[in-house]
Every structure is written in structure tokens, then in C-alpha cells.
A and B are shown apart, each in its own frame.
Chain A
Amino acid sequence: MKPQITGMLVAPAAALMFGVFVLPFLFLLVLSFWSQVPGSLGLDTSFTLANYVRIFGDSYYLGGLWTTLWLSGLVTLICLVLALPLSRWIVLRAGRAKGLIIGLSILPLVCGALLPTLGLVNLLSPLGFINGALKSMGVIQSSLPLLGNITGVTIGLVQAFLPLMILPLITTMERLSQDYEKAATSLGARPVVVWQRILLPLLLPGIVAGSLLVFCASLTAFVTPQVLGQGKVVTFASLAYQQAALVLDWPFASALAIVMLIFLTLAGVLGALVTRNFGRVA
């Protein structure tokens, strides 16, 4: 295809990206170096690093950043552990139900965040299904705290983002020839060794892609931590929302968003490095 035609075909998408992403992003970046006039909606446009000093100089915001990062890591790990056997079962054993099961697996993704999260509130609350069932069976006397803590938020995020791990893994597994596994088994490798030495290295591109998607989605998730955390689980997205929508300190909210974007970029770079390193090994 001629370069001119390629350019013409790419131009609409590039223009859209420039208009709806690059320009607002640049504005966000500039805004993060401004400040809010106290008691007003006005902005002081003189350059300042105060917002970033506030983020990195205050243990509360650093704590929020740390919580967000390790929570995202935990969610990614749980999703991986759950998705690996599930994806393998779907690829190898689901048979004619494969399409239906994949469809059911990605249902949380297409439902939006709010509806499943509110459903989880009914399941996890002190008056919800789980506590009610355990109490009626005499297993517990008082309600288990499943909301307003890391447990509830983790359950919600895993439920929401598990499809992001399943889909890349299924794609990778479907392309994987079973001959490697059969060859290793015929040479006496135990199942654990087959997973460790054969399957996991070959699945690494899917694992990296899925992990990256789940980690980034968890890092920026707002609705699930907000609703299931009940204000007690401090994440960067909920802090940014509080500053943007309630305090109306948009420069500080912008700085929080920029810090979050930096960590998203770092996660992407890390993923690329792992994949490249794996490529050399493979």
C-alpha cells in the first residue's frame, strides 16, 4: 500500500486520539503544575511543584499509593492463579460449551463496573447472603467483615478483572501445540515439571499481557474500591475522585492522575522488558 494511502487511512484515528487523548493529557499535565485559589473555583496559573511535593511529602498520600500498588499486584496474582487452570480447562475440555463459557467469563467486563459491584454489596454485607447463610448454619455468630476492607475490594476487583486475564491466556493456549507437553511427559516429566519448564515459559506472552491488563485496570479502578471499600480503603483513584469532584481542587487531582499515569507507564515498560527477555530465553 502506498504511504500516502496508509497515511490517509490512519489520519482519522490519529486525529481522534490527538483530540480526545493527547490534548486533554497535555492540559492535565499543565494543570498539575498550577494551584487552586483557596475558597474559590479560580486557578492560580503560576508554575508550582506544590502538588507533587504534597503527594510525595505526605505519608498519607504515599500510603495510598503503596496500597494501590500492592492491591493491584495482589489482584493480578489471584487472577493469574484462577485464570490459568480455568483457561486451560476451557481450551482443552470445554468442547462445544467453549463459546458459552467464554461468554459467561467475560460477562463482568461487559456489565460495567457499577452493577456487579452493587450485587457484591448484597452478597458481602453484614446482612448479605454469605453472612446470612453462615449465621443460619451456625458457622458464625456475628457477621464477618467482608466490606470496608481490603478483602472486599480484592474480591470485587478479581471478579471485575478476571476476564482480562482469561482472554489473553486462552488466545495463547489455543496457539500452543500440545506436542511439547506430550513430548515432555513421554520423557518422564512430572506434571509440575511440565508446567514449570514447558507450559509457563510458553504461556509467558499471555501471562504478561493479562497481568498488565489486570494490574493497570486495578491501579485505576474507582467504582469497586469506592463502593466495596466504603471509604476505608484508600486508593489513588478514590483520592483523585475526592479531590476532583468533592474538594474541587483540580490541579491536585491532576497531579494525582499524572502520578498514576507514570506508574501505568512503568508497568507497561516492565511488561515489555519481561516479554523481550523471555523472547531471548525461548
Chain B
Amino acid sequence: MKRIACFAAVAVGGLFACLPAMAQDYSGHTLTVGTWGGDIERLLREHVAGPLEAETGAKVEFLLGGSGDRLSKMAAERNNPTMDVTFQNIYEAPLALKDGLVVAPDAAAVPNAADVWPGMNEGCYAMSLVGLGIAYSKSLFPEEPEWADLWQPQFRGMMAYAPYPSSEGDGMLAVAARVAGADEHDPDAAFAKLAELGAPKLTYSSLDEVLSLMDAGEIAAAPMISGYVISNLANYEGIGFVFPKDPGPVLVRDMVCQVANSPEPELAQMFIDLAIGIDTQTAYAKELNFGPTNSKVALTEAEAANVINTPEEVASLLQMDWPYVIEQRSAWTDRWNKEILGQ
């Protein structure tokens, strides 16, 4: 009996040691989380906000929109932030940390951060892994294309791009530079090579818009982020998606950040801990085909087929010099407008 009591005491003590803040009642508190709408918001509500509200009594409010809007909001509210947690992309997170807008990752405050693959918590906590690959029309590409295949003359003027600047646009410039035998540090080579593809047929504002046209063969191909496309392939029989090998797909990573000086720092840390925990990360992989960053997530072979989920796979991806790219942002946007769109 004494042994059981001791075990119970240790177990309870251990639980409280692991989740010190969880025991506290946060009724009447509101945590504001900025993220993307759609499936991401749905999964976060189901796997993070719901459990957190049940555990703490706090209310979680989502602020939906683009990551650029959130970065602007953080900068504008620098001295009096209203957002506690924000989801940013791979290049925005280090920028936000450099400018003191977010708190550096801390495994002591967010225990699950210790389980994230080494080296991925750059700027903020790594949330998901995706790669920039090629979505293509099967009617125009009988076989899975490599990057260089996009430069075949018959596809000139038949590409679709996301609005620039974006991970997709910068990633495609990095690919174009490598196809030309250089890298992103040689923007002249990158822009000249990309311009050879002609002006895009479409700068898309929604996934459905580009996938419908690609399905019908109106658009040949588009550099797109894996998770979203793969999740939609079942709806479009005429579209394929491939991770090219030469060069490999460009690594794109979503990050979750604790906003500096936010009103609810403890709730923010709890939210982030749940977000990068095994349950949420598994749901991301199974439902969205977003690769988990938590090294303890176990996927079946079928589930792992479409996601990037190991350091070895990450190592095979093309990793860009984002700090350099960010410094070029303004100049490259002008060049994109003139040399790519304005042909």
C-alpha cells in the first residue's frame, strides 16, 4: 500500500513537474493565435485549442490571414502586442527573432521542443516540413518531370506561380539558378534562366484556381508546396506531383512562434507545446501530408510515403540561404515584376 502511495505521489509529482502551468486555472484569459485558415485552423482547433481550453479554462481565439499580415501586425504592435502565438514561414521566423518580435525557442519552457529534429528550431519552433516540388499536368508530361524538363520549348508561357515574394517564388529562383549552373547568390543567372520559361500563364490566388486549369491541360506545371497539393490530388485525376532529384525539392518549413511581450506567455508556451507534440504532428502528417518535426512521431510506411519526416530526407532537400534572400527582397521583387511578369 505504501509502495502504491509512493508511486502515486511520484506519478502526480512528475505530471506537475512536466506541466507546471497546466495545473493553473486560466479561466477568463484569452490566448490569441495568428494562423492560416482552412485545414490548418481546423486541425489546430481540434488538437491544440480544444485540449488547451479544456485543461486550463482559457479561451483560444484565432486570427486568420497570411503570414505577412501577421509579421506586419507584430511590428506595428511591437510595444503592446495583442497576439500571443503566430505561425510564420521559414524565412520570416529568423527575421522576426532578429528584430526582437518573437521569443527564442526554449526547451525548458516548451518541453516538446527537445523532441524536434536537431537544428530545425531556427528563430521559432519548427512546426511542419514540406518541400517545393512540381505539380504537373499528366496530359502534357507523360512521365514525372525533372526541373530541367520545364524548360522544354513547348511549355514556354504555360507555368503558374504563386504571388511574389513567396517561398514558392524564391524557391523557383533558386532552382532556376541551379539549372543554369549557379545558385541563388547569382540573381542574374537565376532571373535570366527563369525568364526563359516565359511570363506565367497565371499568378494564382487560390489552389483550386490553378489545379482546375492544370487538370484541363491549360497550365503545364507549377512549383508548389507538397502538402497542399498532395492533399488535393484525389480530386484531380489529371494532375501529378513529384519531388525532383536534380536539384532536390526546396525545403520549406512552417514555424510556430511565441510573440515577444505577449499578454499570455504561459498559455502561449502551452499552446506551442501541444502544437509540436506527437498528437498534432501526427494529425498534420496524416491529414495534410505535412511532415512532422517531432522526432518521436511514428508513421506507417503508407503515411510516410508523401511526407518529409526524417533528417535524412531533409538533408536531401535544397536548403536556401534565406538571410541572403531576405536582404535581396525588395530588389528581387522589382526584378520579378519586370523580368518575369512583365515579359
Contact = CB atoms under 8 A, between A and B. Distances in A.
A246 B65 CA distance: 13
B125 to A, nearest CB: 20
- The 9 lowest CB-CB distance pairs between A and B, nearest first, are A231-B203, A39-B327, A41-B99, A245-B68, A41-B75, A39-B326, A126-B218, A247-B333, A246-B165
Interface in A205-243: 226-227, 230-232, 234, 242-243
Given A41-B101, A227-B205, A242-B163, 20 more contacts: A38-B329, A40-B98, A40-B99, A41-B71, A60-B334, A60-B338, A125-B209, A126-B213, A126-B216, A126-B218, A148-B202, A230-B203, A230-B205, A231-B161, A234-B341, A242-B333, A245-B68, A245-B69, A246-B164, A247-B329
Contact of B68 (A58, A127, A246): A246
Contacts of A41: 71, 75, 95-96, 99, 101
A68 to B, nearest CB: 14
A252 B330 contact: yes
A234 B336 CA distance: 13
B163 to A, nearest CB: 6
B330 A148 contact: no
Interface in B200-224: 200-205, 209, 212-213, 216, 218
B199 A248 contact: no
Contact of A248 (B68, B205, B216, B334): B68
A243 B165 CA distance: 9
Interface in A139-173: 143, 148
Interface residues of A, number: 30
Given A232-B199, A248-B68, A60 B327 contact: no
B66 interface: yes
Interface residues of B, number: 39
A246 B163 contact: yes
Interface in B91-108: 95-96, 98-99, 101
B13 interface: no
Interface of B: 66, 68-69, 71-72, 75, 95-96, 98-99, 101, 161, 163-166, 199-205, 209, 212-213, 216, 218, 323, 326-327, 329-330, 333-334, 337-338, 341-342
B99 A42 contact: yes
B72 A244 contact: yes
**Residue from B166, B323, B341 having most chain A Cβ neighbours under 10 A:** B341
Nearest to A226: B205
Contacts of A227: 205
A234 B337 contact: yes
A243 B68 CA distance: 11
18 contacts: A38-B327, A39-B95, A40-B98, A40-B99, A41-B99, A125-B209, A127-B218, A226-B205, A227-B205, A230-B202, A231-B163, A232-B199, A232-B341, A234-B337, A242-B164, A245-B72, A248-B71, A248-B72
A121 B209 contact: yes
Contacts of B98: 40
Contact of A125 (B166, B213, B330, B337): B213
Contacts of A38: 327, 329-330
Contacts of B213: 125-127
A60 to B, nearest CB: 5
A39 B163 contact: no
A249 B216 CA distance: 38
Contact of B212 (A42, A127, A245): A127
Summarize A's interface: helix, strand, loop or mixed: loop
Contacts of A40: 95, 98-99
Nearest to B76: A250
A36 interface: yes
A231 B200 contact: yes
A242 to B, nearest CB: 7
Between A42, A127, A245, A246, the greatest number of chain B beta carbons within 10 A of the residue's beta carbon is seen for: A246
Given A40-B98, A41-B101, A143-B218, A246 B330 contact: no
Given A41-B75, A60-B337, A121-B209, A127 B216 contact: yes
Contacts of A39: 95, 323, 326-327, 329
Nearest to B160: A230
A36 B71 CA distance: 15
Nearest to A227: B205
Contacts of A42: 99
A126 B210 CA distance: 11
Contacts of A58: 334
A60 B342 CA distance: 9
Contacts of B96: 41
A230 B216 CA distance: 18
Contacts of B165: 246-247
Nearest to B164: A246
Contacts of A127: 212-213, 216, 218
A113 to B, nearest CB: 13
Interface in A38-97: 38-42, 58, 60
Contacts of B218: 126-127, 143
Nearest to A231: B203
Contacts of B326: 39
B321 to A, nearest CB: 12
Nearest to B337: A60
B28 to A, nearest CB: 30
